[in-house]
Structure 1
């Protein structure tokens, strides 16, 4: 699994011009799933993301997690995180999981984040989404569960 995590002041996701998920302070997390991703990958990303210390403390040091600042997560499925651009100019997405499996893993990921006491908002899996957010910092982190 791959995750692109962006610290945000506010964020929302729209499907067909309707806001389906919205947060204030927190993280926008784009998640890409491969066919061989499983519980170990899900647990690893949930643990890393929920405890990632990328919010400033009173001394302006990145020392607080999204849980510490009572933040929320806007979770967006994004198969394009597994794009292969090595050959030619048109990306290949063969490494991305099949939709049924990716949706199952994505939902498990979101459920486990919620079990960490985090408010999790989502887009709609497989739909064309428009995401608006204010990247705070900017702070952007990439985590790949296969690269521990």
Structure 2
């Protein structure tokens, strides 16, 4: 099976810093893979907040995560601070990809990269809905 390869944009429209706590560490003494997704989820919430939204209210509709892909580049350890960068791209009728990169703040070492495929969702009728144009405009700014 071919390895996952994730291409990153030339620049990211958003970044945030999150420290690695002891609860993020596994038996190998490095960042646990499930905790990586948890950290990216926190960054995703912050990304939407930076645009004036919540994950349940983007111009009146919410989002759901349709797929996730991750590519690990190096270990990360307790006490390090990660810089998580994020940008929206690859828009389609119902969603887009949120691509991300995690790097160690002190050294710049890339830890992981990946994407969350998101779909816009009208929770009142439990159905997919079109990407709000205002979100596209804000995400592209």
Q: TM-score, normalised by structure 1?
A: 0.28
Higher relative contact order (CA 8 A, sep 6+): 1
Q: TM-score, normalised by structure 2?
A: 0.29
